Amino acid sequence: MKLKKVASLCGKTKMFCLYDRTERDDTVSQWLGDGYAIYPITGLPYMDEENIYSMFDISAKQQEKIIFRHGPAPEGINLDDVDPTERRLSDDGLSVVYDGGILKPLQTRNGISFIQNKYLSPLEDVIEMVQLYERATPQGTPYIVAKTGFFLAAVIMPYSVINDKFVYQLSELAQQCRRALEVQKMARPTAEPVDETQCRINVDESTGEIINFPGEMEAEQ
């Protein structure tokens, strides 16, 4: 986990959300994010607003433009490592660049959904281990979680991007890809059949002499 990446995401939205969660053993775990994604803070003492600003070298002038929220973890979001209703999502390796951002499509139980790739950047040091799962609040609101192995590493809310314009542009792109594929298939040369009985003239590269001149093969046999 790269906490500086988390701070960078928060800095771009001017929103720092610090959440406290009381665990079963009465200890307090903390999560930090920009409201659209949150990440666990581990290996650190209990943090507050002043500690966060100090750790990430956020000046007093920068703080004036920041909204900082510190409170209990959001209700309905399961921050346990395991959720009995969660479902693992497959990664097709496809991303879409749209409106200046990179979106990752995910096939959920409720249909296609998208997350912003930037919210995976804090996990880039362990990205090969990351698996995405879908979960839902008790009210049925879907959200995405990222795990590294068995451990929860991020909670990411879906990105609302599906509208008429978005769907139209994707449809146009798909049609153009189909046309390009058809042209490619038509232009592809047909492979000439190889006559396995045809003898070849083989030349010894060191002497320049012809080896197995046509007719000699039959004679040698």
Assess contact for 194 and 181: CB atoms under 8 A: no
Give CA torsion, residues 130, 132, 133, 136, to 10 deg. 120
Distance from C-alpha of 37 to C-alpha of 134, rounded to nearest angstrom: 14
The pLDDT of residue 95 is above 70: yes
- Contact residues for 149 (Cβ-Cβ < 8 A; gap 6+): 129
Say what the pLDDT of residue 1 is.
80
User: Is residue 198 very low, low, confident or very high in pLDDT (cuts 50, 70, 90)?
Assistant: low
> What residue has token string 């990105």?
159
- How many other C-beta atoms can be found within 10 angstroms of the C-beta atom of residue 207? 8
- The predicted-structure confidence for 142-166, as pLDDT tens digits, reads as follows 999 999 999 999 999 999 999 999 9
Distance from C-alpha of 132 to C-alpha of 144, rounded to nearest angstrom: 7
The predicted model gives 28-43 an average pLDDT of: 96
pTM of this prediction?
0.79
- Reduced to 3 states, what is the DSSP secondary structure of residue 134? strand
- The predicted-structure confidence for 100-126, as pLDDT tens digits, reads as follows 899 999 999 989 999 999 999 999 999
Annotated domain spans of the chain? 3-72, 87-156
